[in-house]
A = this chain, B = another copy of it.
Amino acid sequence: MASLTLPRHTGIFSGSLPTRPTLRYAAPAKVRMSLSESGPSIAVVGVTGAVGQEFLSVLSDRDFPYRSIKMLASKRSAGRRLTFEGNEYVVEELTAESFGGVDIALFSAGGSISKEFGPIAADKGTIVVDNSSAFRMDEKVPLVIPEVNPEAMHGIKLGTGKGALIANPNCSTIICLMAATPLHRHAKVLRMVVSTYQAASGAGAAAMEELEQQTREVLEGRPPTCKIFKQQYAFNIFSHNASVLSNGYNEEEMKMVKETRKIWNDKDVKVTATCIRVPVMRAHAESVNLQFESPLHEDTARDILKNAPGVVVIDDRKANHFPTPLEVSNKDDVAVGRIRQDLSQDGNKGLDIFVCGDQIRKGAALNAVQIAEMLL
């Protein structure tokens, strides 16, 4: 049984870079006080993955109260030790028996694990917050961004003994809607054209490692190692690696189309998206063109966004300072800038905006923990 160790080259991306998920709880900086008898018992499924590690980071950062915490992962990782908030835990293998007495389970271990174990956990009375796409479009499962549609969770509460499934939306959808929703509430979005600039992290920690490795190889004049992605990622961009459907959209793009309709409870909102991977570590960017029912001036939009929860406006035209993936890495807030009246739409009924958000944090772990907080 080995302790979890930091991945290779951990120091490299500190400071100016894209910190990758490091198993940072091996040596915590401080002991937090969130272990409390009155808190729920929680479980983290997929705890050794990029998002799993970020679940722990966010739980700790936000002093999430818990009576106990179970660290669950695949058989391969079972037995490894990790220290969280000053206490040592042994990673346990995920089985159908894992959920007895667990109040809240945060899942991020891929769609097939969620499909298999999510309903088992819910049947045992656990409220599952699932980061996969397994249940997102299931009409009985709420799909929630706490700042956007908290009402979708109506009726799901701790202490009732009743389990439930709650789905965490796709990262690109969350980041887009954090910025678009406050504007939508004001002027009603009729149509949205999105182009994404997506980070390696969305494909997991191994993809982040591959981007780093490839970049070293290319700089050394060697052929790039392609395992996670089938083509060179270093110094290149490519259409998102999700499967392409018969309508020509890839699955990532269709998530944005369909999840937006569900989250906004608006089956008529028109969305198109083009999802592209860029050689960036852990934060997504999105160029979003909005078409509104009512006029919305860019100054009003900027004020609305400045007051929106979880959103920060970075929009300094003079200094050419706008959001970048690097600037939002490891941050909770989604940053919005390049807020301007769309010249191609009349009557102030269009806006262009540029949005950046940390894919692992608000795009996944933070949003899930915020959902869990609403249960308390």
Contacts and interface: CB of A to CB of B under 8 A. Distances in A.
Contact of A218 (B12, B285, B317, B344): B12
A338 interface: yes
A89 interface: no
Contacts of A281: 235
Interface in A1-39: 11-18
B197 A236 contact: no
A243 B320 contact: yes
A189 to B, nearest CB: 11
A248 B218 contact: no
A65 B234 CA distance: 39
A91 interface: no
A322 B235 contact: no
A324 interface: yes
A267 interface: no
A245 to B, nearest CB: 8
Interface stretch (A114-122, A140-148, A269-277): A269-277
Contacts of A223: 15-16
A231 B327 CA distance: 10
A322 B197 contact: no
Interface string A340-366: 111111000010101000000000000
Nearest to A274: B287
A12 B325 contact: no
Contact of A287 (B17, B248, B257, B276): B276
What interface size band does chain A fall in?
Answer: 35 or more
B272 A289 contact: yes
Contacts of A218: 12-13, 16-17
A202 interface: no
A195 interface: yes
A164 interface: no
Contacts of A270: 343-345
A224 B16 contact: yes
A241 B320 contact: yes
Contact of A320 (B221, B239, B272): B239
A126 interface: no
Interface string A222-259: 01100000111001111101011001111000000100
A49 B276 CA distance: 31
A97 interface: no
Contacts of A224: 16
- Tell which of A211, A235, A249, A270 has the most Cβ of chain B within 10 Å: A235
Contacts of A324: 231, 236-239
Contacts of A278: 197, 237, 278-279
A220 interface: yes
Contacts of A14: 221
A216 interface: yes
Interface of A: 11-18, 191-193, 195, 197, 211-212, 215-216, 218-221, 223-224, 230-232, 235-239, 241, 243-244, 247-250, 257, 270-272, 274, 276, 278-281, 285, 287, 289, 298, 317-318, 320, 322, 324-326, 337-345, 350, 352, 354
12 contacts: A13-B218, A191-B344, A195-B195, A219-B219, A244-B317, A248-B340, A249-B340, A257-B343, A271-B344, A272-B344, A274-B289, A278-B279
- The 6 lowest CB-CB distance pairs between A and B, nearest first, are A248-B340, A195-B195, A270-B344, A195-B287, A244-B317, A272-B344
